[in-house]
Structure 1
Amino acid sequence: SYFPSLPGVAVWQFTSMHAVGGLDGNVDLLGVTDNGYSKQPAQATTVPSTPSQGSVSSDTDYAQNGVFIPSVTLNIRTGDDTSYASIGTYAPGESLMYDHIYIHNGYVWARYLSYSGRYHYICLGVMGGESYGSRSSSYSAPSHTYYTVRSGDSFWSIANKYGVNMYTLASNNSKSINSLIYPGESLYIK
């Protein structure tokens, strides 16, 4: 009858035109239970290993730009720790442009500014141990970026993820924004 974690909310309406009105288009319903949000929503693959006590270093941060390409599915978090909410995932092979590196509790985290204007974080690996992908510390734009369509994707969601215009995205793939796209289909981003 209503969202248990949002008192008094009985109706929810989605609009794809939220950006035009200056509204926040991100609604996180992961982890909603009868008691509100759980600390760890059961969602994607979690970080594969934990740092040993010997590898835990003091917390530090670096203003560093670069590109990270995960080799495993990684959670996108709202903060630089596994205790923060997981709000999505990056799949192996996708690229992420980051603007800051944090070392927190023995993990290496990258911060990036999402299309919604909020900072999100992804774990790059264990300090002095396992890396969850590859990164370059100085950004140079890749010559071509492709995206493999997943179930639930639309031109709008893919365009927003990569910061491109959805009409340009559709046109670059010889389609219109009303064309159907299918899971497994590869789209040229830029």
Structure 2
Amino acid sequence: MHISKSEWLGVAVCFGALASMPNTVVKNSPVAMTTVKADTSYVENKSYGVDVSSFQSTDMSNYAQNGAKYAFVKTTEGTWYTNPKASGQVSSALANNMMTMSYHFAVFGNDAQKASAEANYAVNASRNVGVPAGSYVVCDWEAGDGNNINGPVEANTDAILSFMDTVNANGYKPMLYSGAYLMRNKIDTDRVVAKYPNSLWVASYATMGRIDEPDFEYFPSMNGVAIWQFTHNWRGLHVDGNINVLPLSKGGVSQAPSSVPATPSVDINQVIASASQSVAQKEQPAITSTTTDTNQDVPFTAVGRVNYVPGYGIMLWGQPGYKNALNRYLPHGSRWKIFKKRYINGSVYYNLGGSQWVDGKYIIIE
């Protein structure tokens, strides 16, 4: 989801849990170009939505015509950046019958005091651009722009809850967005959903190409998920695509259990149905002799090509496993010599020389 404060989209979202899966066939089905007449205060489950920043236009009509019933608009980052298009995007989303909410890119890391300050900044900006009271204001907690994701899990979670508490105290509904890998490894999501049930918005992609419809065999099963971001390029519109697995309302997620079974997935309104077992199997790939998690370097020489989104890039890391972001990006389609690799939690990371690593799921070996 993240666009940097200069609005250059390039941070690779952390989706480690699905890295070893093969790419799926993209479903590019015809789309009827009619605006969905959605209630702007309620969205039924299994509905599509988008999230936008200044990278996208202020005109949201095309998303609505393609079936989006809700929109998350980036309003802020840290305590210094406000999206100059936010007001126009909010107005257009509401005019197109889309339930309209906001998100804030966090840079507070594990600092609870800074988290509260950022939440106040986000809430004020959301009010100013017309996000209706009682709507979601989301904490987007991921790598990039100096956000430290490598603090202790409990401290990370304390800070995130501080943000969410401040949002709640100001009359908006808190939600947490992050990648599946970070939610499983860097955040105590059990604490989050215990306080704010069904408040998780998780990102995890089956492939980095265009996806029109989500394949629930790749759903990242975990407790408390309300929304799944399943693609970076929904229906060829170059916008993040999401599907809510629970009904959404301006006052929050509609009534549902405070805890959702992890396996089978979120069995709310039979969203996952019979696919849940294959989800569990795919999320825990068998470790073979070629993918042993030794956490040690394995000699490997090859040329790899970046396979991301045209016009964007992937983050270069100082250490494998999304550690020590170098704030440098390798553009889609560029080719690099690989010197070694390392397996961590079933995911492969490639070394490009020295302390320079990339996530292997974005690399095609030539």
**What TM-score does the superposition give when structure 2 sets the normalisation length?**
0.20
Q: Looking at CA atoms only, which structure, 1 or 2, has the larger radius of gyration?
A: 2
User: Which protein is richer in helix relative to its size?
Assistant: 2
**What TM-score does the superposition give when structure 1 sets the normalisation length?**
0.33
